[in-house]
Chain A
Amino acid sequence: MKNPVMTASGTFGSGREYADFINLDRLGAIVVKGVTREPRAGNPTPRICETPSGMLNAIGLQNPGVERFIAEDLKWLAPLGVPVIVNIAGGTVTEYSDVARTLSRAGGVAGLEVNISCPNVKRGGISFGCDPEMTVKVVAAVRKAAPGLPLIVKLTPAAGDVVGVAEAAAAAGADALSLINTFPGMSIDTETFEPRLGSTTGGLSGPAIRPIAVKMVFDVSRAVRVPIIGMGGISTAQDAIEFMLAGASAVAVGTANFVDPKATIDIIEGLERFVRVRCIDSITSIIGAVKVR
């Protein structure tokens, strides 16, 4: 990776959607939207609503299925030369390993991000990521199905024992951990008495969750040895630095892309400026450098 800034899954489409606004090849990596074995139609609308300093979403993993993803999106992305990380999801362990196997044979994939943290699907997703035993099963199966690919396991802040899940994922073969996915949430229209999301509840993202995310990165980085990709409300270079100080080796930008399509580029440039102004060798030197009193 030429820099530690990547996109957060589900907020950057397959990259192509932002090609009109930024130079994609400046990104450290592109993490594409969640892909499942079969196509998924997603949840009823409205699928998003705005909340203080953030938003709730309940997209429900709408995607064309892994075969069409490879034939269309990956085909477009692979020649760009930016590392492409594919976010994978499923309702059963077998679905995860099937997607992983198909992608490992596709070529042009730099790594897999195993989404065991989606709050918006009935089966799999978050229910796997809250349970260390299930985490081990999914991660071990994916590891076996795609032996050649770096594996990132994406954790949910809803797990009671995030550190326990993180340790389980690392023990089962994760090469890196990414955290956090959205936090389960709900909003109700006080005029109509109806939930503001079509599927009643959703996942909270944006600056509202940043302090929760920073703490989880901090806690997990002290417990496991694998590198951490930090995310949750990162909108500026300063936010990215905060995550790196807490222990993240890289960061991902999600909701901020909606607010400003140039967010990733501004953050990359801000980190470069930070390195110059602080006269440090590399941004990597601040990883975990928080001075705890």
Chain B
Amino acid sequence: MEISGSRMVVEALKREGIDTVFGYPGGAIMNVYDELYKQDDIKHVLTRHEQAAIHAAEGFAKVTGEVGVAIVTSGPGFTNAVTGLADAYMDSVPIVVISGQVPMALIGTDAFQEIDAVGISRACTKHNYLVTDAKDLPRVIKEAFYIARSGRPGPVHVDIPKDVSAQITEFVYPDKAEIPTYNPAFKGDLEKIKNAVEAIKSSKRPLLYVGGGVVQSNSGNLVREFAEKTGIPAVETLMARGVMGSTNPLLISMVGMHGSYAANIAMSEADLLISFGPRFDDRVTGKLSEFAKEAKIIHVDIDPSSVDKLVASHYPIIGDLHSVLTDMLPLITEIEPEQFEDWRDAIEKNDKLHPLGYDKGEAIKPQEVIEKIGEVFGDRANISTDVGQHQMWAAQFYPFSRPRQFNTSGGLGTMGFGFPGAMGVKAGDRDRVAVNVTGDGSILMNIQELMTAVEYELPVVNVILNNNYLGMVRQWQTLFYDDRISETDLTVQPDFVKLVESFGGVGYRVETMEELEKALLDAEKRNVVALIDVKVDRRENVMPMVPAGGSLYNMMLR
């Protein structure tokens, strides 16, 4: 079959099982848009900004575990997409981003809307391609999907010059990507797994350090089984929220800068850290020289460059976590949950001493807003967030019950991620309520997506924890800069209710907890794009807090 390069793109997407793409057209990508027009299998969601298209593809990928796809034009279309690529790169999100490029003959001439896209994306993608001949397109797209989803997942960018998408040539879509230089690790070394199990047997204070890799590899059930079988308590990173389930007695809480007291102390007192797919981020470890000083470290990760990068491990195991856990579980014999009872009791005592909590007051506390959303929606909702205090409160206080329930920008910390991310989540999981917990600062960074959400019936419920501040920065100013509030006061604000209504959504202004509950239920029932503006105590701080660079066990508590 001889077809155009642009038709190949669409055919290839179909064969990859893609039914939804997010994007924004422009000159250099028009051939592809013309092909999208001629078919009905793939639905295109026109976001109102390219950054949002990428975040939506990320949200889709995170909630479904499949590859998300976004399409943008050359020049500014592509540069607008860069933040999204970087976000996906930092959080290992499998997406494929296709961009148009000026025709081959114009590349390098400073042509209209020309930018060296692969030069820019090289630093923030797992891999990228500039396609110079349409006969390479089928192979390139096949490889792009394979690379995005295999090994440690990540974004792949494919840049297609306009004359290449117009070029007509033979189309044969390969069954399989064959890249001789790319062999992602799969099975872990059995000897090493056995040694790790021996270390677990002889440990006294073992701790499961559960990271985002567990979600990526769909190993949540195996990790829960591991914990149950051994009675070993667990802490979760931000990216792993939901893995253990909030009602699990073995889950201590989140660990790290805003982790719970008991979780951070457990990390510091453990004699064995069983690390399943975390990356020892500085927001988790605090001061490295003081990190888990008492512990031997087992580190299971699919990415060899993650192991021993920051913290030297005693039992490194490189492999797919799901496969490693499948090999590991049957080896776990002679471990009785009773043997760690004292350790669990000590942790429990710490948790009672300084539980995650807050003081109620006159004004609505942001934490109680999260608790209320949890009470009203619980397992029924997928929670996305923006970046700031509200993000940390969502991570601390939402009763997560399963992996992939929590969708947040962890590595890059991208304000503006939440709303388009939640649109992608909704597109990928229609049966659940898509909530975006956001801030009065963050929501304005992709507010134009109200239009997309209304047009495509992606009823995201945005809950603004409105503190009239860039709260997280304000918190640092208060704590570390003598409360000099430099450019973080957001007293001047839009009327959020009118704003959302002008786009055709529904707005709620909420001043009491009863009103909040009503608004949440109403938004769910009416199935509308909603913006709930909740005035919260503006001076509340996220606690506990490990000051940046400090030791994990030295927390400010209130």
A binds B: no
Q: Tell me the A residues contacting B by CB distance below 8 Å.
A: none
